[in-house]
Structure 1
Amino acid sequence: MRNPIRALWLCALLSSATVFAAGPAPDRRIAITIDDLPWQRIERTPAAQLPVRHAQLMAALKQADAPGTGFVNEGKLEVDGQLQPERVAMLRDWLDAGYELGNHTYGHLDLHAVGLPAYQADIARGERQLRPLLAQRGQVPRWFRHPYLRAGRTPEDRAALATFLDARGYRIAPVTVDNGEWVWAFAYANVLDGQPDTPARAATLQRLRRGYVPYMLNKVDYFERQSQALLGYTLPQVWLMHANELNAAALVDLVAGVRRRGYRVVTLEQALADPAYARADGYRGRFGPSWLHRWAMAENKPKDFYAGEPVVPKWVLELAGETSE
């Protein structure tokens, strides 16, 4: 007859061995950053709908109950050069929700197109409302995010920009979970505002929402694997999103999705405390890839290192009116 005590002992031993072999669970952390405040493509958003959609996004932020940082384009606070108080109030809503606010330049300029002097001037112009708004709460602007993630094509330009930002009290906010979210958002807004309110439109919007969330979570999974391959551990990630209609509808599901994967949503400051963020940027091109890929380029990783990244489907590109991400 089988000895029950011995059987229990063997089960415990095998269980312990399995845990030991698997090792500790990865410490998954992610910071949420949302660009183009107060609203992406604000000039194309129906004026009557802007406060409604903004309120929807604020409600989603509250329901998600996660920290985050928003990045402001002050040019979006104006119409024909005139400051719009209701748009400044939108920024106050972000602060009331517990979000930090950073500088994303005044006009969302491309550093590689305008050059360093014009870019630096636009950064300074992008804090004329932001700095006093934060001062009312005893805060100062401390985060800067490059539009298009274009950070300079030469080490000299990057160093000069870093010196300029440091003098103004800014730290660069990199992105590791880069994505084509903007394409999905353009498609969603085009359908929402450009098609009659019919069951067909509702079905297309639902298809976009259902496709968008797994696409974004697959991006998180991909960059987690890239982190493991490059660094040997799970880096605290920085996730890029924008203030738009799609995220007003999907943010709660996105945050729930990463939490199901074992992620804790942390502040940008907590994520950037990881020493990997001090690594060299090896990118020399004209676009704006993930910092994980910039670090990989600094190590001359082969082309196949970057393989397998999820892409935006063709049908979404077509709805967005775009030919590529």
Structure 2
Amino acid sequence: MRLLFSCLLWLGSALPAVALSPVEPDRRIAITIDDLPWASLGDHQPHAPPAAMLEHHAQLLRGLREAGAPVVGFVNEAKLEVDGRLAPERLQMLRDWLQTGAELGNHTFGHTDLHAAGLAAYQADILKGERRLRPLLAESGAKPEWFRHPYLRAGRSPGDKAALAGFLAAHGYRIAPVTVDNSDWIWARAYRNVLDRGGDEQVLKRLRAEYVPYMLDKVDYYERFSIALLGYALPQTWLMHANEINAATYPALVAGVRARGYRTVSLAEAMRDPAYARDDAYTGAWGPSWLHRWAIGENRPREFFAGEPATPPWVLDLAGVEGE
């Protein structure tokens, strides 16, 4: 027995050392950007977008090229019109996106709230939202494939949700979910308010400096959430908007997720994960992430959702909003 034990010790010492570190998750993320051609562009503005807006637009597109990550931009065609007429300068902004290699999807004509408008009006607004988009994409042999719900509100009843899904499929659309949600619109409003008041560079610098960690903390939160819910790191779908603060920070945001080990992938690749075929049982009033919807459908306790990063009060104050 003693000889056998000695032999086992010798055999163990002769074997090569094996690292016992945990396996890193397969981190992938698809980037989506809503409210094209520009979030704050409206009918009340001049026929041509203001010069400052075009500068920020160009800055965001430079960031897209620099980062080299696949991206889908979601269009509100109402932003292309002034007094009901197409503004060619605004349509050119969409052409600029296509020239970067971005895909374009439908976000309804007027950023319509399904829960307020009702299903019939909402479906009509989806079709109205492709009057310019479909022929624009046809110029390069493409067609709109993706649809994103404004406000992430997808229906207050199982019947409405099923009817909408069938309508979208019949018109060649796939629903683009969001798993990494955030309040970038609040930070963007704060940033734009500072710009409108003369552009205090110290405040703008602080906003940029704190915004990037906030957004990356959100990615970390939803990675932990997906592992807790699904048992693995889901290929994420990340929501952003076409606005000034994302124009100023986009390369840093992409570099930040890559430094965390993420590969930036197409929305189509992310959607191949079987989790996206899960039933979305949520019929509440709000527009939570799809990870939240799945967890709500499983009746996870309130504690399961804890720990989500929040927008700091000083940013809420600058934005002029009371809360997220």
The answer for the alignment partner of 1:56 in structure 2 is 59
- 1:81 positional shift: 1.1
1:196 to 175, 181, 198: 198
Secondary structure (helix, strand or coil) at the match of 2:270 reads helix
Q: Deviations over 1:232-273 (max 9, x none)?
A: 000000000000111110000000000000000000000000
Distance 1:81 1:10, change over 3 A: farther
- Whether 2:232 is the aligned partner of 1:233: answer yes
Secondary structure (helix, strand or coil) at the match of 1:49 reads helix
Q: Is the 8 A contact 1:178 1:240 kept in 2?
A: yes
Name the Cα RMSD after superposition: 1.7
- 1:324 positional shift: 1.4
- 1:86 positional shift: 0.9
- Whether 2:263 is the aligned partner of 1:261: answer no
The answer for the alignment partner of 2:251 in structure 1 is 252
Distance 1:58 1:293, change over 3 A: same
Structure 2 portions without partners, runs of 5+: 1-8
Q: Is the 8 A contact 1:282 1:296 kept in 2?
A: no
- 1:13 positional shift: 4.3
Question: How do residues 61-76 of structure 1 correspond to structure 2 at under 5 angstroms?
Answer: 61-76=64-79
- For the residues of structure 2 that align with 1:217 and 1:263, how far apart are their CA atoms? 11
Secondary structure (helix, strand or coil) at the match of 1:18 reads coil
- For the residues of structure 1 that align with 2:304 and 2:170, how far apart are their CA atoms? 37
- Return the letter of the residue paired with 1:142: E
Secondary structure (helix, strand or coil) at the match of 1:238 reads strand
Distance 1:12 1:165, change over 3 A: same
- Return the letter of the residue paired with 1:157: D
- For the residues of structure 2 that align with 1:289 and 1:103, how far apart are their CA atoms? 20
- For the residues of structure 2 that align with 1:88 and 1:54, how far apart are their CA atoms? 13
Alignment length (residue pairs): 311
The answer for the alignment partner of 1:79 in structure 2 is 82
Q: Is the 8 A contact 1:34 1:243 kept in 2?
A: yes
1:167 to 149, 166, 170: 170
Give TM-score, length-normalised by structure 1.
0.93
- For the residues of structure 2 that align with 1:316 and 1:177, how far apart are their CA atoms? 20
Give TM-score, length-normalised by structure 2.
0.93
Distance 1:132 1:13, change over 3 A: same
The answer for the alignment partner of 1:3 in structure 2 is none
Q: Deviations over 1:10-32 (max 9, x none)?
A: 59744x1424xx2x321100000
Secondary structure (helix, strand or coil) at the match of 1:312 reads coil
- 1:121 positional shift: 0.5
Structure 1 portions without partners, runs of 5+: 1-5
- For the residues of structure 1 that align with 2:320 and 2:14, how far apart are their CA atoms? 59
- For the residues of structure 2 that align with 1:37 and 1:12, how far apart are their CA atoms? 59
Q: Is the 8 A contact 1:185 1:244 kept in 2?
A: yes
Q: Deviations over 1:79-133 (max 9, x none)?
A: 1111110111110111110110000000001101111111001000000000000
Query: Where has structure 1 moved over 4 Å in runs of 4 or more?
Result: 9-14
Distance 1:11 1:25, change over 3 A: farther
- Return the letter of the residue paired with 1:178: D
